[in-house]
Structure 1
Amino acid sequence: MMLLQLLAVERLKIRRKAIWPLIAAGGFGVVLLQAANYALRYDYLMKLNADNPWGHMLSEMHFLAVPSLIMGLAIIASMIAGVEHATNSWKQTLALPLSRLSVYAAKFVLLMGLMFAACTMLAVGTVVLGLCLSLGTDIPYTELLRVSYLPLLAALPIGAVQLWLSVSLANQAIPLTVGVLGTVVSMFGMTLGDFVPYKWPMLDNQWNEPLIPAALGLTVGLLIYVAGSVHFVRKDVK
């Protein structure tokens, strides 16, 4: 119950931060990029991928969505944590009869919930785009869900690190710089080793099993979240 109340409070704090337009830009923006790609090369792409038009579009959508996901985690984490930093209100927040663990958990849940919403927008937009492009009504829902949501699980360690940095550092330029660098690295994810976290959202590995990076992301992400929580509990607030 306390966590739900804290989530409500966190939503009120970010109400004027224009986070939802950013979430929509992340989710639907990828769809618009793919729409532009097909608008310019529709006949060529349809002929080239006549045997599996949905599979091709989902593959390209996934490649475009991963950098957006990494950057989105950095920006949203910074905006969520930046409220207290901007108003110097950490002492007031933590002076309330609230568990520090609950405060940190609320911010983490909010971050992942907002990114889940972006992934849902991506999934819905992808279906709408595919139907508009006449790719057929035989939509591969399993592949759609894999491309839309597994990268978020695989990126959990990145989100946990971004929130940890954003909460710990008053200067939000540092976590945002880490986010930008991580986004650039993720664009070359296919060339990285299988155990590099920035490759995991690509869901590519030598075993050709997308569940492996998702499982790794979930496990490592929770460990980093716990470490961040412990640090937050012990941290002196100024």
Structure 2
Amino acid sequence: MTGRALSSDWLKIRGKGIWFLVFLAPIGLTLMQALNFGLRLDYLKGVFGDDMWNGLLENVVVFVPLSLMLGATILSSMIANIEHEQGSWKQLLAMPIPRPAVYLAKFLLACVLLVISCLLLTAGIVILGLVFGFDAGEIPWGQAIKLGLLPLAGALPVLSIELWLTMIAKNQALPVTLGIVLAITGMFSLSLSPSFPLAWAQMAWNGPNPFMYAGMGLAAGILIMLLGMMHFSRKDVA
């Protein structure tokens, strides 16, 4: 059932600008670092020495949590708004597909699109490093792949909250505003506490035990998703 709903949602996102968003963040972050390293390459070589790949990753990851939270907010709104704008919720929910399957399909769609965006960022950063002449034999593939995926796991609670709110609210202003506030708060969350949930996306890369924070984000995100699913299953959606 979930597979059928996911296939349907995959077709619905065509021509909705969602793929543009998926490509926008990784391309934007890559171009930002292209400008940064292009203007300051000699200085950065003096700072990072023979560890230029790590220096590039460290410069990129500063912006990844904010980009993920903003991306999760906008992506959730765009996915939910397909049904809101067309007024097709009643028609969709009248089909022989359980409501939990409909909800789970939209959650999985958002996750898959964000994973694609993270992998595109990895590819962009590797290509950028090669363009600047970094040693191809020293590409840190493990760290490059973790660059987006671990912070994504840490940011999963924000995605779950945003999808929940955008699915049940026809007016997207409040969910989107909340998502922007959460993303901005997340930038300063480490000053509050590393255990603060909005800090998990940063700690999933910079923390002493990144996999622990990624796991905490993953667990909290799934829990919030299940709560949203139960609420959605019982609520009348116009």
| Structure 1 and Structure 2 fold alike (TM over 0.5) | yes
The letter for the 1-side match of 2:10 is R
Aligned length: 237
Matched, 1:118 2:117: yes
Q: Which runs of 5+ in 2 are unaligned?
A: none
The answer to whether the 8 A contact 1:54-1:130 is kept is yes
Correspondences of 1:83-232 after superposition (within 5 Å): 83-137=82-136, 138-203=138-203, 208-232=208-232
Distance 1:174 1:229 in 2: 19
TM-score (norm 1): 0.95
Aligned to 2:12: 13
Aligned to 2:57: 58
The answer to whether the 8 A contact 1:194-1:206 is kept is no
Shift of 1:50: 0.7
Task: Give the secondary structure class of the aligned counterpart of 2:194.
Answer: coil
Task: Give the secondary structure class of the aligned counterpart of 2:62.
Answer: helix
The letter for the 2-side match of 1:42 is L
Structure 1 residues 123-132 or 140-149, which shifts more? 140-149
Identity between Structure 1 and Structure 2 (%): 38
Classify 1:206/1:62 alpha carbon distance in 2 versus 1 (closer, same or farther; 3 Å): closer
Aligned to 1:71: 70
TM-score (norm 2): 0.95
Aligned to 2:22: 23
Offset from partner CA, 1:18-76 (integer Å, 9 cap, x none): 11111101112111111111111111111211142111110111111221111000000
Task: Give the secondary structure class of the aligned counterpart of 1:69.
Answer: helix
Classify 1:162/1:131 alpha carbon distance in 2 versus 1 (closer, same or farther; 3 Å): same
Classify 1:176/1:134 alpha carbon distance in 2 versus 1 (closer, same or farther; 3 Å): same
Instruction: Give the 4+ runs in structure 1 shifted more than 3 A.
Output: 204-207
Distance 2:94 2:207 in 1: 50
Task: Give the secondary structure class of the aligned counterpart of 1:217.
Answer: helix
